[in-house]
Chain A
Amino acid sequence: MQDKASTPLSFQQLILTLHDYWAAQGCVILQPFDMRVGAGTFHPATTLRSLGPDPWNCAYVQPSRRPTDGRYGENPNRLQHYYQYQVIMKPSPPDLQDLYLGSLKAIGIDPLLHDIRFVEDDWESPTLGAWGLGWEVWCDGMEVTQFTYFQQMGGFDCKPVAGELTYGLERLAMYIQSVDSVYDLVFNDAVGDRPAVTYGDVFLENERQLSKWNFEVADTEKLFRWFRDCEAECQASIAANVPLAAYEQAIEASHVFNLLQARGVISVQERASYMGRVRDLAKGSCEAWMKHNGWAE
């Protein structure tokens, strides 16, 4: 994967390399959003900042929670908690594809040795009222990045359009390090007598316990109440003209809904209705944000 001279990047070195690369492209390097979200797109630095006319370029790592993907640490590829690397550039620069390919080279993927392809994959988030056109980027047949030009967010046209890159960090690292299980990933390199640590050392127990909590333990009564509380708090915050606070409640509601799904207590019929409620909260927050900034009537 790498030049023969160098060892493959560790997990943390992969993140640091991407930080350096995107910082050099003029991106603000943000820290993860401190709430539980399903994907990097939920970070307000993507959702809310992709609205309105102001230029915005940033990159960050976002821990992402997908309760239903939990496998108690027993599946080498599936996790209920994993990391996405997110880049957002608004307006989308004309050379965004080249910039992206430059980042692959930076992390050690040689495009004359590996087959890089842009394969049609349009993106849609029903809970965010958002969609865009783009690709999944394949490296030797593996999807390593989602590449999207946002067309709408929160039901509003993106003016201008932002380009979004979402790297699946674990998958990319497994590829670079050539390991078959996510838990075997080298997290950092040994320094002197301080040993290297694996991804499993850091996260295996978390996957076991959190899978159990997500699927078996979480109190569904409380979750339902929690959902209603978030909903009410979001609406109250919209009314109080604090859209950033409202949006936080919307993403909290979204995560609680995901937990309820993992607990298997939402029927097929109810599912659509809950998703509609989350979408209303997200769209309401986006609308309030647009108004607050004077971008909408």
Chain B
Amino acid sequence: MMSADFLLELRCEEIPARMQAKAADDLARLLGEALGAAGLKPEGLTVYATPRRLAFIARALPLSTQAVSEEFKGPRTSAPPQALEGFLRKTGLTQDQLEDRDGVWFATVEKPGRATADVLAEAIPQVVRAFPWPKSMRWGDASLSTESLRWVRPLQGIIALLGNEVVPFAIEGIATGRTTRGHRFHSSGEIAIESAATYADQLRAAYVIVDQEERRAIIARRAEELAAQAGLELIPDAGLVAENAGLTEWPVPLLGRFDAAFLEVPPEVIQLTLRINQKYFVLRDESGKLANAFICTANIEANDGGTAIVEGNGKVLAARLSDARFFWEQDKKTKLADHAQKLSRITFHEKLGTVADKVERVATLARWLVEEGIVGASNTSVTPADAGVQAPTAQPQPATPLDSRVRGNDEERKALADLAEQAARLCKADLVTEMVGEFPELQGLMGGYYARAEGLPDEVADAIRDHYKPVGQGDEVPTAPVTVAVSLADKLDTLVCFFAVDEKPTGSKDPFALRRAALGCIRSILGKQIRGSLTIALLSASYLWYVQARSSERRSAFAEAYFGLESALGKPATFEQVVAFAEARLGVDDRQAAPGHRATRDLLDFFADRLKVQQREAGVRHDLIDAVFALGGEDDLVRLLSRVHALQSFVSTEDGANLLAGYKRAANILKKEQPEGGKPQSQLGEEDPGEALTDPDMAQAMREHEAHFAAAAPAYALEPAEAALINALDEAEPRAEAAIAAEDFEGAMAALATLRAPIDAFFETVTVNDADPIKRQSRLSLLTRIRAAVHKVADFSKIEG
């Protein structure tokens, strides 16, 4: 079959650099699909993008589409004549062209091949009219109508060449041809392109390098050479290479210098000015420090070798750097504490008061996190690999003692708390500085510089600098205790406040970056093995917000109250217990407090979701996280995750799988035997026990009652398997409990594993639903006991499979 190369060039005014790569991909995809739909298969596709053109080349494209013959099955020959007429109309044939096969009409329709040029002339205008530019516009005379062609910038010319021939068509008055234009300044007049094969070379002769990869390579290589010649090292920046390649058709990197006196400004400021504002490459000297040099990328081979261009760029840069130095000097004249005064003029969010209000809350919360020992100097730091991406089957970590809160010595803790509060009070102050006004992306970083410049302690400066971290996925997680306290307090406050005023993320919309804040908390907590109840931390944060909105007196009383409750219980309090306790002790008005509490509950679910997403990558099963979260009381993320890890190892063993099967069987029987809508008999039932039991005393009473009931000796002769199961439970329960208390979840699983054989035997030989109501009741309570024993580790009903 005859074939030829096809070239399409869409020439327009300057396409934004950031849009070129996707536009090239879209063009290849859409035209490739159009060709494919016509059955045309080229040997290969190439796309080029420069600021002024998109080009598409299909190599060895068949000159016509295949003739196809299609067979259609028609009506039976005995069918009424209308059916046959309809079939003839549909196929466009006459009756004598049909074939009678065993009493059924068959038609063979021959579709001749189409000229490829016709296919292209039809397809290309459609692709151009519907091209998915992120932003497009109208222009010129045609724009009298809003229906006129839209393109990223005015479209000026179209080349469509199949072999050496122009494929004739027009889009909105722009007719195809073979002429284009070369470089804006190095070439004049029109260039007649011979064919796809000569396109790139003909344009190269006119100072246009059409291949974006080649332009990128030139920029990267030449910039390196210039750096080396100057005895400097280029700081590689692939994004900047691509952007400059998108701004030039004939890239010429040039090296310039700026006054070394500017280097007294923080290097990040200089780098931003160079990279973002001017699109210059940045260089280092041999000591690794920022060099007083830049590399710009011109679009011309200048007559004077680039001297004037370097000089001009140097002036622009000097003006910008003087502005930056002016800001740096000005900002330093005012202490951060004085800058912070102005935060009362900045709205944090219309429903949430000013940034000054936020700072006040964050300072209190940061201090509290340290004073309570939740964040301390000696938290074990773990590597990110351990924190986020630990393989569930890895060796179990040594058990952490239950009360692992770092109490440290009191003086040390007080000093740390003072630093945390001080850092928190200053952490947003740089928002009102001139520098951050000019470069918002330097928030935090500049505060750190200003803090150091005024002689504040390093811990404070570091905390101000790093408290926004971790921002992105790869971003480092803070580890210094003061930083962690401020960072966690800031994020918890943000989460609690936005949830309290019902500004939650929905779908893809997360305008206040709350998902990132929650993920940041999770990464900090896991990374630094921060122990404590998330519920209580969230409630404390929400209480601070709530109290601030009214008065500011009862804050610390509240925090103490929570911890008083916890030590009285000897274990983490449930959400309801905390709420009930808080309301009783502090006389918080029920009606007003309710939204904050509901928000906290929503927020816990939100954290659970974020944790599942974060752990998915590490291969942790989301249903197992649910199973542990469903216990209700477990909101210490570190312990929760170590429980999940143990659980995941366990359910993948044969013992685990069988125990799960036995559990499900027991749970199903119990479900059936307990009347619909009736109260569950056990506080550890599948339904959230907290829903029914809000009062801690009542919960305790129920627990005792159950224990008593289960222990009572049944008044009949036990069957052997029944007795064996009771013995096994008697033995396994205390073992599991002790192991859990020691946070040895592997041990707890091992204890549960001993139940597997007795449970299997029980189900094989014992009838639960015995005619004797005493036996039946006794066996049902044995099943309840199995369920309760298993629920000490996790809510197995949430486990899939």
| Chain A residues within CB distance 8 Å of chain B | 1, 53, 75-77, 91-94, 97, 101, 110-120, 122, 132-135, 139-142, 149, 151, 157-161, 163, 175, 180, 267-269
Contact A114 B247 (CB under 8 A): no
The answer to whether B345 and A268 have CB atoms under 8 Å apart is yes
List B318-359 residues whose CB lies under 8 Å from chain A.
319, 323, 326, 345-347, 350
Fill in one digit per residue for B297-320: 1 if any A CB lies within 8 Å of its CB, else 0: 011101110001101110111010
Q: Decide: A161 near B139, CB < 8 A? Known: A119-B247, A142-B316, A180-B315.
A: yes
Q: Taking A92-B154, A120-B17, A141-B312 as contacts, is the C-beta distance between A113 and B302 under 8 angstroms?
A: yes
A135 to B15, CA, bound (A): 10
A159-B145, A161-B139 in contact; A114/B309 too (CB < 8 A)?
yes
Q: In the complex the two chains form, what is the Cα distance from A160 to B304 in whole Å?
A: 42
Name 8 extra pairs, CB < 8 A, besides A114-B309, A141-B278, A141-B313.
A101-B184, A114-B308, A114-B312, A140-B316, A151-B137, A158-B143, A160-B138, A268-B347
Q: CB-CB < 8 A to A116: which residues of B?
A: 184-185, 299
Per-residue A-contact encoding for B168-202, CB less than 8 Å = 1, 0 else: 00000000000000001110000000000000000
CA distance A151 to B142 in the complex (A): 13
User: Which B residues are within 8 Å of any A CB, using their own CB?
Assistant: 13-14, 16-18, 51, 135-146, 152-154, 156, 184-186, 247-248, 278, 280, 296, 298-300, 302-304, 308-309, 311-313, 315-317, 319, 323, 326, 345-347, 350
Cross-chain contact A91 with B144 (CB below 8 angstroms): yes
B152 contacts across to A, CB distance below 8 A: 133
Given A113-B302, A141-B317, also A118-B139 (CB < 8 A): no
- A94 in contact with B317 (CB, 8 Å): no
Can you list 12 residue pairs at the A/B interface with Cβ under 8 Å? A91-B144, A113-B303, A113-B304, A115-B300, A119-B14, A120-B17, A141-B296, A142-B315, A159-B143, A159-B146, A160-B142, A175-B312
Q: Which of A115, A135, A163 contacts B309 (CB 8 A)?
A: A115
Q: Name the CB-closest residue of A to B306.
A: A115
Measured in the bound complex, the distance between the Cα atoms of B152 and A134 in whole Å is 9
SS of B interface (majority): loop
Contact of B312 with A160 in the complex, beta carbons under 8 Å? no
CB distance from A178 to the nearest CB of B (A): 8
Q: Is the pair B350, A269 in contact by a Cβ cutoff of 8 Å?
A: yes
Shortest beta-carbon distance from A141 to chain B in Å = 4
Chain B contacts of A77 at CB under 8 A? 319, 323
Give the chain B neighbours of A119 by CB distance below 8 A: 14, 17, 247
Closest 4 CB pairs of A and B: A140-B312, A120-B16, A118-B14, A161-B143
Chain A residue numbers with a CB within 8 Å of B185 are 111-112, 116
Cβ A93 vs Cβ B140 within 8 A: yes
Whether A111 and B300, one on each chain, are in contact in the complex, defined by CB atoms closer than 8 angstroms, is yes
**Inter-chain contacts of A135 with B (CB < 8 A):** 14
Q: Are B300 and A112 in contact (CB under 8 A)?
A: yes
Given contacts A97-B13, A113-B303, contact A141 B316 (CB under 8 A): yes
The interface residues of chain B lying within 8 Å CB-to-CB of A161 are 137-140, 143
- When A53-B144, A140-B316, A161-B138 are in contact, do A94 and B14 touch as well, CB less than 8 Å? no
CA separation between A180 and B186, bound complex, in Å? 31
Instruction: Indicate if the CB atoms of A149 and B139 lie closer than 8 Å.
Output: yes
- Cβ of B327 to closest chain A Cβ, rounded Å: 12
Tell whether, in the assembled complex, residue A118 and residue B140 are in contact, meaning their CB atoms are under 8 Å apart.
Answer: no
Q: How far is the CB of A101 from chain B (nearest CB, A)?
A: 8
Closest to B19 in A: A120
Which of these, A93, A115, A140, A160, contacts B144 with CB under 8 Å?
A160
Contacts of A142 in B (CB 8 A): 312, 315-316
Contact (Cβ within 8 A) A118 B313: no
